[in-house]
Amino acid sequence: MKALSLKQPFAELILQGRKKIDLRRWNTHFRGEFLIHASKVPDQKSMEKFGFKDLPCGCIVGKANLVDVKKYESSEEHQKDESLHLADEIWGNYGFVLKDVKRIKPIPAKGSLNFWNFEFNQK
């Protein structure tokens, strides 16, 4: 199954339903269900900003459905959706629109860049 690595606390914010768009610097044609992987190293500045001290890292923590990609052409467009992506423009101009987010029991896994394949029978 496809998986996407995100730094904490962004993976957790998606699982809580607070972050509905994930910003990226790259576009994708992929649409559908994928696993949410919490990267091994969290973004400490964002952990503090959103009030988190300790979150699971280096594991699959949930799944979501990528239903659309929104291209932000201007700062105004980006700012208009700030309550949906909770991030600055430096994170990217492409907004991955997420639906049907579900938390799962953490599964240890190494991440990778872009979408990558995860097999549930890995050791």
The candidate with the shortest Cα–Cα distance to 71, out of 32, 26, 17, is 26
Which structure tokens are listed for 78? 């980006």
Q: Where are the domains of the chain?
A: 2-107
Q: What is the pTM of this model?
A: 0.93
Question: Which residues does 75 contact at the CB level (< 8 Å), separation at least 6?
Answer: 89
Burial class of residue 75 (count of CB atoms within 10 Å of its CB; 0-12, 13-18, 19+): exposed
Domain 2-107 annotated CATH 3.30.465.10: no
User: 62-118 pLDDT, tens per residue?
Assistant: 999 999 999 999 999 999 999 999 988 888 899 999 999 999 999 999 999 999 999
